[in-house]
């Protein structure tokens, strides 16, 4: 049985950081109350796992602040029949949140060490609807496309055309954009035929999205 301490911390996190900031999607709240976020960070950070800030996960990467995970997931407008592409598996925590709600999650991570560790954790938690790929995120996952929703957890300077092509007509993409060390913004992108509708959600700070040839 899970340590009650983490269950208490998790419920407090959802109440004080997520609900208090107007996240109302019941599926998102339920997922974040359930998933043991501390398992996705180093043991040294277990007690900080439910705090209101990002944490290092090695390889120069971070696990996002809980509120940002909740916000990005809510903005995706996930449905239970959705097939989702995630670019940047990272710790695997965002992946788990997606997998609690959507039908299938196809997650791509460029850094092999992170990809392997996240897959191990998620398999330990018995997720059967997550598919893993260790590859350059700019390429997406063409063989499994098109996707209902796409979420990107690293910041390119512009929307990658290759990923836009893998989004279904009527689909939604959530993506941070901007230069590293400069002002970045989170965008909600809707694909409507040849028309792309882009809406700024809020300011954010993500690691840069890097191509293999950069």
pLDDT digits over 15-39, tens only?
999 999 999 999 999 999 999 999 9
Residue 136 inside a domain? The answer is yes
pLDDT-derived band at 208 (thresholds 50, 70, 90) equals: confident
- Residue 13 gets which letter from DSSP? H
* Contact between 174 and 151 (Cβ < 8 Å): yes
Of the listed ranges 55-64, 91-100, 117-126, 168-177, the least confidently predicted one is 55-64
* Contact between 175 and 187 (Cβ < 8 Å): yes
Residue 47 inside a domain? The answer is no
120-157 per-position pLDDT tens digit: 999 999 999 999 999 999 999 999 999 999 999 999 99
Residue 68 inside a domain? The answer is yes
Task: Provide the domain count of the chain.
Answer: 1
88-115 per-position pLDDT tens digit: 999 999 999 999 999 999 999 999 999 9
Catalytic residue (one of 51, 64, 91, 183)? 64
Instruction: Give the contacts of 99 (CB within 8 A, at least 6 positions apart).
Output: 105, 122, 127, 129, 130
Instruction: Give the contacts of 150 (CB within 8 A, at least 6 positions apart).
Output: 84, 85, 86, 87, 140, 163, 166, 167, 171, 172, 173, 174, 175
Range of the domain at 102: 54-204
* CATH number of the domain where residue 152 is located: 3.40.50.150
pLDDT of residue 179: 79
Terminal CA-CA length for the chain: 46
Residue 101 inside a domain? The answer is yes
Residue 117 inside a domain? The answer is yes
d(CA 177, CA 2): 38
Residue 45 inside a domain? The answer is no
Residue 22 inside a domain? The answer is no
Q: How many other CB atoms are found less than 10 A from the CB of residue 15?
A: 12
Residue 154 inside a domain? The answer is yes
Q: What is the pTM of this model?
A: 0.95
Annotated catalytic, 91?
A: no
């Amino acid at each position: 049985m899970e340590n009650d301490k983490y269950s208490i911390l998790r419920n407090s996190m959802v109440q004080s950081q997520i609900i208090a900031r107007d996240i109302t999607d019941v599926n998102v709240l339920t997922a974040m109350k359930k998933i043991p976020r501390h398992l996705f960070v180093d043991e040294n950070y277990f007690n900080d796992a439910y705090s209101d800030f990002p944490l290092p996960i090695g390889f120069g990467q971070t696990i996002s602040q809980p509120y940002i995970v909740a916000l990005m997931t809510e903005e995706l407008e996930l449905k239970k029949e959705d097939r989702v592409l995630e670019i940047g598996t990272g710790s695997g925590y965002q992946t788990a949140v997606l997998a609690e709600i959507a039908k299938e999650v196809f997650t791509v991570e460029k850094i092999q060490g992170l990809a392997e560790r996240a897959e191990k954790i998620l398999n330990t938690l018995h997720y059967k609807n997550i598919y893993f790929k260790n590859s350059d995120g700019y390429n997406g996952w063409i063989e499994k496309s098109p996707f209902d929703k796409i979420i990107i957890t690293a910041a390119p300077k512009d929307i990658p055309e290759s990923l836009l092509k893998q989004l279904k007509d009527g689909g939604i993409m959530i993506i941070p954009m901007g230069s590293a060390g400069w002002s970045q913004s989170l965008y909600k992108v809707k694909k409507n035929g040849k028309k792309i509708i882009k809406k700024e959600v809020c300011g954010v700070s993500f690691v840069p999205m890097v191509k293999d040839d950069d």
